[in-house]
Amino acid sequence: VGTMAATPESISEKVTESIKLAEEACAENPASGECIAAYDEVEELSAAASHARQKMKESDPLETYCSDNPETDECRTYDN
């Protein structure tokens, strides 16, 4: 496991909840449609969480600041 940015709280909670629900749905019949659909939801939310982490990792604090304040000393760039 490499360096991970934290998942946004809202998604992280949903992932945890969906796993719990899937485990319950599969307790009775692991081959049922409900069980399979529940684990599909787990996968979908895990993928969404990973995409959100990726997005957060990419956001550089200075870059974010500079896109809003391009005229400040620390952000000004001249091509020539």
Partner 1 sequence: MAICTVYTTHSLKSTSSVSTPTKTHLGFHQRQVIFYSTSKKTDRRGSSEISCSAGEAKTVVIGLAADSGCGKSTFMRRLTSVFGGAAEPPKGGNPDSNTLISDTTTVICLDDYHSLDRTGRKKNGVTALDPRANNFDLMYEQVKSLKDGIAVEKPIYNHVSGLLDPPELIQPPKILVIEGLHPMFDPRVRDLLDFSIYLDISDEVKFAWKIQRDMAERGHSLESIKASIEARKPDFDAYIDPQKQYADAVIEVLPTQLIPDDNEGKVLRVRLIMKEGVKYFSPVYLFDEGSTISWIPCGRKLTCSYPGIKFFYGPDAYFGNEVSVLEMDGPFDRLDELIYVESHLSNISTKFYGEVTQQMLKHADFPGSNNGTGLFQTITGLKIRDLYEQIVASKTSAPLEATKA
Q: Which residues here bind partner 1, judged by CB under 8 A?
A: 1-2, 4, 7, 10-12, 14-17, 19-20, 22-23, 26, 30, 32-52, 54
Nearer to partner 1, 40 or 70 (CB): 40
Nearer to partner 1, 34 or 66 (CB): 34
Nearer to partner 1, 73 or 79 (CB): 79
Distance (Å, whole) CA 41 – CA 49: 12
66, 76 Cβ separation under 8 angstroms: no
Distance (Å, whole) CA 49 – CA 9: 10
